[in-house]
Chain A
């Protein structure tokens, strides 16, 4: 990718992430934008973002695809693997050859390789001295992640982390926890809404998610608000599906 073109894509990515930080931003939309932008700019094939819930560990909140296979891999990475290690150490972890590293994380490596991923890069989402999650980028080819790309991933993750936990409340730990729980709860609501749409409009779960996001964006509504309306049936599923 030519430098000028990559630079303009980078600028666009920062703008896209920062755009979601408006007054009524939706945290799941922010995280989905983050992981999607990173994936496209940095030329990786899949990405997932896990946030920490105190007491119950890491949970998948956004990913580049809703496919069962990717979701399964991401959820597995919450319990074992380099992504979890990145979260625990607060440092980025690069795995240029997943197969060669299989001895460290046999179960994770096995599933990742089954899905065609040969290397990965895990970036911690940090807030001062705390780590609130990780962003994990997967590639279908071998090789170390370029330093420049790792820096970009960290910078975008840092911008998004600020979006999740506003600077001004960062000093109050119970409010930090509340923000993280809110993000997780938003994701749960979205999953419930996907179920309602899948059943009533005969959509796949992937298409249901796409329909929810499109509806929210086209009407300038929060994704969470649309999901809530779908689940309590105040928004007609037929309106979303078309």
Chain B
């Protein structure tokens, strides 16, 4: 996850994976986006079959690049979807049950690291904080809950707004969250131009 709501690829295993991530971002279409929108794993075992129909532009481009199967797992922090782990295969085939379970465990393991990056990227220098990763500080999640009500948006959007505000203000997400929880910052009262970043 990048700053101000933009998505970035955090890690890619090889050039094919990199290329496929680029395609999804450039086209704004693909299993990554569907997994985020629907908050569930999206498993396409054979892009040449009807599995690929959902992405009329991404699918042929992905196949040309060498991929025949894609599996996308959402990364969640509570109710917030912060990104996905995307797995690709150069031949078609289902992901068997144990592999799906392992992928989900790996996705959860990646979540803490990804969330930490998502939060730290909102400010250049983050002082080392005692007591655990910023992604897990209680105030951040309490603030997300409050913003859900203040803006009447889902959790993932509330998190994006929180990060966008921190980035625009040059402050850490945690610091902004503390202000929200303390009642000093109400997202419902912010001017519209800031909300539309």
| A interface residues, Cβ below 8 angstroms from B | 53-60, 71-72, 74-80, 107, 174-175, 177-178, 181, 184-185, 188-189, 191-200, 205, 228, 231-233, 237
Contact = CB atoms under 8 A, between A and B. Distances in A.
B141 A195 contact: yes
B172 to A, nearest CB: 16
Contact of A181 (B105, B113, B138, B144): B105
B133 A57 contact: yes
Given A79-B131, A107-B130, A198-B142, 7 more contacts: A58-B132, A195-B146, A195-B148, A196-B149, A198-B145, A231-B78, A232-B155
A187 B118 CA distance: 20
Contacts of A107: 130
A231 B105 contact: no
Interface of B: 76-80, 101-102, 104-105, 108-109, 111-113, 116, 130-133, 135-138, 141-150, 154-155, 181
Contact of B145 (A53, A71, A195): A195
Contacts of A233: 148
B145 A194 contact: yes
Contacts of A75: 130-132, 137
A159 to B, nearest CB: 25
Nearest to B180: A195
A194 B112 CA distance: 21
A147 to B, nearest CB: 31
A99 B148 CA distance: 43
18 contacts: A59-B132, A71-B138, A75-B132, A78-B131, A78-B132, A177-B105, A178-B104, A181-B109, A184-B136, A185-B78, A188-B77, A191-B78, A191-B138, A195-B143, A195-B181, A196-B146, A199-B146, A231-B79
B145 A231 contact: yes
A205 B142 contact: yes
A79 to B, nearest CB: 5
A10 B163 CA distance: 47
B190 to A, nearest CB: 15
Contacts of A77: 131
Contacts of B141: 188, 191-192, 195
B76 A231 contact: no
Contacts of B145: 191-199, 231
B78 A76 contact: no
Central interface residue in B104, B130, B147, by most chain A CB within 10 Å = B130
A237 B146 CA distance: 12
Q: Which 4 A-B pairs have the closest CB atoms?
A: A195-B145, A75-B131, A191-B141, A188-B78
Contacts of B112: 53, 55-56
Contact of B148 (A79, A189, A191, A196): A196
A79 B132 contact: yes
Given A198-B145, A199-B149, A232-B154, A189 B79 contact: yes
Contacts of A199: 145-146, 148-150
Contacts of B109: 54-55, 177, 181
Contacts of A80: 130
Central interface residue in A181, A188, A193, A198, by most chain B CB within 10 Å = A188
Contacts of B144: 192, 195
A84 to B, nearest CB: 11
B132 A192 contact: no
Central interface residue in A77, A178, A185, A191, by most chain B CB within 10 Å = A191
A71 B139 CA distance: 11
Central interface residue in B78, B79, B112, B116, by most chain A CB within 10 Å = B78
Contacts of A175: 101, 105
